[in-house]
Amino acid sequence: MHKSREGVILRTSFVGIGGNVLLVVFKAIVGFLSGSIAIVMDALNNLTDALSSIITICGTRFSMKKPDRKHPFGYGRVEYLTSAIIAALILFAGATAVYESIKAIIDHYQNGTMPEYSIVSLVIVAVALVIKIFLGLYFKKKAKDVDSNSLKASGNEALMDSILSAATLIAAIIVYTTNIYIEGYLGVIIGVFVVKSGVEALVESLSSILGERYDYEFIQEIKKEIKAIDGVNGVYDLILNSYGPNKHVGSVHIAVKDSLTATEIQRIEKDITLLMYSKYQTIMTTGIYAENENTPFSKEVKDKVLQVIKEYSHILQMHGFYIDEDKKFVNFDLVIDFKDDKADEHVQEIKEKLESIYEGYSFVINNDTDFSLT
């Protein structure tokens, strides 16, 4: 499966290189012959697209390296880095377009320079625009098929450049038919638009590198499947870390009856491991919460805990309740909303309230992060 995915990325990138190199040659010739800064800048954008495809190929090949001692989770995250580099190229292309367009505007007013187009040059630019749109849509489709951030970034760049090409064509037609200078102004407007797209693409890439929350529906699907395993009474603290597309490492806590034997618990853990690896390409570590609220007093304490935490609106969930009546020890976890900027203070308040109600008992409360609950 992975080889097929990487093969699609490589083939798509080679198509992009070939198409963009042809566009660079044609537009550069037309741009220099006509004296059009807009077309020359458009050729430069196509050159950055070709570089994007080369970067995607290099990144994909590098991400295929096998795990080693230094990087035991493999090199899949390299794809996120290549997306960031491509986003930087989009920024460069947009900034260059703005700079050169401003220079062209100044030159027009100082020296009266005007581009000179022919029907042939207009046709070439129009054909190049169609090819560019095709390449952008082709990259986007393949990116969706194989879940590739690099191809998605390349597709976005190609479509942004097609907008620039369309503006260049419109400016060329206006100059050809009316002899009114407009292309420099259009170049500035479109350049700013491309810069904005580059910033957005860079932010998205950096967000992936930092680590994003997984899709809520995806998380709920996994929890539902784990909960369906015989012996699992609850699923909590599901954490997933991405090490590249289709490469994940995670952990989860499950609640089980405290009467289960070690053999029975191991069977449950093995079932979870097999499910997560075979279906979700995830290496999963499972932690155990032993439910022991089977005495009247333990049920009373748990109900009191639930009553107390209702006073705090930012508490999303309580789980992992465990009581040792002999040692007078109670432990549970609280998942608290990120909006609560006094979470630690509130946990301490709850601890003090409960210990004042149950004198002699020690309450240990873990402040859990909302990794996947909401």
Q: Are residues 55 and 156 in the same domain?
A: yes
State pLDDT tens for residues 221-246. Answer: 999 999 999 999 999 999 898 887 66
Structural domain boundaries, residue 168: 2-210
Distance (Å, whole) CA 152 – CA 158:
10
Statement: residue 158 has pLDDT above 90? no
CA atoms within 13 A on the CB side of 45: 39
User: What's the pLDDT at 273?
Assistant: 95
Average pLDDT, the chain: 85
Residue ranges of alpha helices (H) inside the chain are 2-34, 37-63, 78-111, 119-146, 149-178, 183-210, 216-227, 262-280, 296-309, 343-357
User: What's the pLDDT at 233?
Assistant: 92
Statement: residue 28 has pLDDT above 90? no
Is residue 374 in some structural domain?
Answer: no
Statement: residue 55 has pLDDT above 90? no
CB neighbourhood size of 192 (10 A): 15
Statement: residue 261 has pLDDT above 60? yes
Q: Are residues 194 and 226 in the same domain?
A: no
Q: Are residues 242 and 141 in the same domain?
A: no
State pLDDT tens for residues 288-302. Answer: 998 887 889 999 999
Closest CA to 274 of 211, 332, 225, 235: 225
Statement: residue 307 has pLDDT above 70? yes
Domain boundary (185, 210, 235) is at 210
- The pTM is what? 0.66
DSSP 326: T
Q: Are residues 190 and 253 in the same domain?
A: no
Is residue 90 in some structural domain?
Answer: yes
CB neighbourhood size of 354 (10 A): 20
Distance (Å, whole) CA 58 – CA 56:
6
Token pair listed for 237: 């603290």
Q: Are residues 186 and 244 in the same domain?
A: no
> Confidence class of residue 1 from pLDDT cuts 50, 70 and 90?
very low
Work out how many domains the chain is built from and give that number: 2
What CATH number did the domain enclosing 318 receive? Answer: 3.30.70.1350
- In contact, 338 and 314? CB cutoff 8 Å: no
Q: Are residues 253 and 206 in the same domain?
A: no
User: What's the pLDDT at 267?
Assistant: 96
Distance (Å, whole) CA 14 – CA 25:
17
